[in-house]
């Protein structure tokens, strides 16, 4: 698979996971949740979907999940921390609007995730 195809599939998969994340975040904020907690829960929902699609489609998973899942879980925890920390930093210290803050946070986490998925999480599954 070419790098261009892989990046395209990563972006489509991640875009759908992000849609799940943002939808959950928005609904939880409307229900009165604090934005940092809402975005963290949204990231959790998106990450479950994302694992399945990235494993099978983007990175052509052909092995057992026992090796990829723990590493993926570590990258998800890192991504949640970066997501929550950067979102908090942008909204609390710079008073950035919620949508702009989440867009910047999402872009940062996406770049980080592609590098980690390609180099560490799914590297044995790339064909």
CA-nearest of 15, 44, 6 to 125 is 6
Q: How far apart are CA 57 and CA 53, in angstroms?
A: 5
1: confidence class by pLDDT, cuts 50, 70, 90: confident
Largest CA distance in the chain: 45
Q: Are 38 and 28 in contact (CB under 8 A)?
A: yes
**Residue 124 pLDDT:** 60
Q: Are 39 and 81 in contact (CB under 8 A)?
A: no
Q: How far apart are CA 49 and CA 6, in angstroms?
A: 18
Proportion of the chain above pLDDT 70, given as a percent: 95
């Amino acid at each position: 698979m070419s790098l261009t195809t892989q990046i395209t599939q990563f972006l489509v998969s991640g875009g759908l996971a992000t849609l799940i994340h943002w939808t959950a975040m928005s609904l939880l904020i409307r229900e009165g949740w604090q934005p940092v907690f809402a975005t963290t829960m949204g990231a959790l929902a998106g990450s479950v979907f994302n694992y399945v699609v990235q494993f099978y489609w983007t990175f052509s998973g052909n092995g057992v999940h026992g090796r990829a899942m723990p590493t993926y879980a570590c990258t998800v925890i890192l991504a949640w921390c970066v997501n929550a920390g950067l979102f908090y930093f942008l909204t609390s210290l710079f008073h950035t609007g919620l949508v702009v803050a989440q867009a910047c946070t999402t872009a940062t986490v996406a770049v980080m995730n592609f590098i980690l998925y390609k180099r560490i999480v799914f590297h044995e599954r790339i064909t």
